[in-house]
Amino acid sequence: MLLGTVAVLAVIMLGCGWYLSSPVYSGNSMVQPRNVSNGRFENTEPTTVMKAGTNWDTMYQFLFKGHRDRTPTHPLPVASMQGYGAEPAAQGLRFVWLGHACVLMELEGKRILIDPAFSDRASFFSWAGPKRFQPAPIAVKELPPIDAVLISHDHYDHLDRPTITALAGKTAIFHVPLGIAAIMEKWGVPKEKIREYAWWDERVFDDVKIVAVPARHFSGRGLFDRNRTLWCSWVLLGKKMKVYHSGDTGMAGHFREIGNRYGPFDVAFVKMSAYHENWPDIHLNPEQAIEAGSDLGGKIIVPIHWATFDLSLHSWYEPIERFVTAAEKNNARIITPMMGELVDPAEHENRYWWREGLRSRHDNDR
């Protein structure tokens, strides 16, 4: 019973929830993709979600071990977004990192929101599961109308039901990988507002081409729906500007293929946190994030998927420090924005804002 309880708690804490009614893939309702077998999606390279024999040890470590600074001791600095949206979206490229993998982008006059998760917890439950370090820099109700919302996959820290239902009334179109439309329709999002994609599918909306490209990951919101929906990364191609967003992914050969097909990218948003030796195939570590950005042809690499939820055993700041070090070694140009900060990549002056809090922590420890 103790082991069973620990297992259930671990599932909750990892944000997987207990969602037993996710839809099963149906070839009759979607375009037939190439990477599906027996109703379940597959990666293009052999992928281990968790190393054999490490499940119990990982659960124990996640519940009782790990770095003492897995969560910040004080709220992280956040830029004010008061009044955001009063002006039209930029005709070039600007963006705001809203925490974790969520990016609010202004691309050639359009506002595009990627992987929004504004809830306090990345979980099926409102009272358990990974808790945000602090509230998002802006509430959904304060956002201006959104031209498009893009979702990379169905995990709770990327597909958040309260956020989606709150956005439904102010979003023109939702772009999602195969299988997620059925989930969102059950939540009340009108079917005509959802577009589904297999890998390499392309659609043009208001002069912006949106492409779903491969990622090396997995899906599932519960105990029995593993890989029933597709996962992806996103490419956005304006008339002049090109952007990549990784969603969740591990290292793979697809980065170079994406770069060859659609790059170079003016900005590449690349995840670089929640890594561990027991699941090396499905999450990039910081050094791999820089390598992936290079393979993509990213002129600027922006780290995402960090400083918001405790999803691994490392400290909250280890990923960004390793990312900066790797960028320096490889002469990669990076932008490390503060949450809520409106960034114009052409004019942005980078600063390492998280180090102020770390210095204060170390001073207190003396």
Helix (H, G, I), strand (E, B) or coil at 77: coil
Provide the 8-state DSSP code for 186.
H
Going by their DSSP bridges, the two strands 171-177 and 146-150 should be labelled as parallel
What is d(CA 286, CA 59) in angstroms, rounded to the nearest whole number?
23
Domains present along the chain, CATH in parentheses: 2-365 (3.60.15.10)
What is d(CA 155, CA 30) in angstroms, rounded to the nearest whole number?
20
Q: Is the dihedral of CA 204, 205, 208, 213 positive or negative?
A: negative
Q: Please report the beta strands in the chain, taking only residues with DSSP state E, as ranges in sequence order.
A: 36-37, 40-41, 93-99, 102-107, 110-114, 146-150, 171-177, 194-197, 202-205, 208-213, 233-237, 242-245, 267-271, 301-304, 342-343
Return the pLDDT at 21: 45
Return the pLDDT at 19: 46
User: What's the distance, CA 58 to chain centroid?
Assistant: 22
What is d(CA 312, CA 58) in angstroms, rounded to the nearest whole number?
10
Q: Where are the alpha helices (DSSP H) in the chain?
A: 2-13, 55-64, 161-167, 180-186, 254-262, 286-296, 318-329, 354-365
What is d(CA 330, CA 322) in angstroms, rounded to the nearest whole number?
12
Place of tokens 């281990």: 48
pTM value surpassing 0.85: yes
Q: Which residue(s) pair with 196 in the sheet?
A: 176
What is d(CA 228, CA 222) in angstroms, rounded to the nearest whole number?
11
Which CA distances in Å does 303 have to 128, 185, 245, 317, 320?
27, 31, 10, 12, 8
Q: Which residue(s) pair with 197 in the sheet?
A: 177
271: tokens are 């995840």
Is there a contact between 234 and 170 (Cβ–Cβ < 8 Å)?
no
Place of tokens 């042809």: 297
Give phi and psi for 245, each to the nearest 5.
-135, 125
Is there a contact between 243 and 107 (Cβ–Cβ < 8 Å)?
yes
pLDDT of the chain along its 366 residues, tens only? 444 444 444 444 444 434 444 556 655 555 678 899 888 999 999 999 999 999 888 888 888 889 999 999 999 999 999 999 999 999 999 999 999 999 999 999 999 999 999 999 999 888 888 999 999 999 999 999 999 999 999 999 999 999 999 999 999 999 999 999 999 999 999 999 999 999 999 999 999 999 999 999 999 998 889 999 999 999 999 999 999 999 999 999 999 999 999 999 999 999 999 999 999 999 999 999 999 999 999 999 999 999 999 999 999 999 999 999 999 999 999 999 999 999 999 999 999 999 986 765 544 554
Return the pLDDT at 38: 87
**Torsion angle in degrees (nearest 10) through CA of 184, 108, 244, 99:** -60
257: tokens are 């293929």
> With DSSP H G I counted as helix, E B as strand and the rest as coil, what are the percentages for the chain, rounded to 5?
25, 20, 55
Helix (H, G, I), strand (E, B) or coil at 295: helix
With vertex at residue 251, the alpha carbon angle to CA 250 and CA 257, rounded to the nearest 5 degrees, is: 120
CB within 8 A of 42, min separation 6: which ones? 35, 36, 227
Q: Where are the alpha helices (DSSP H) in 206-299?
A: 254-262, 286-296
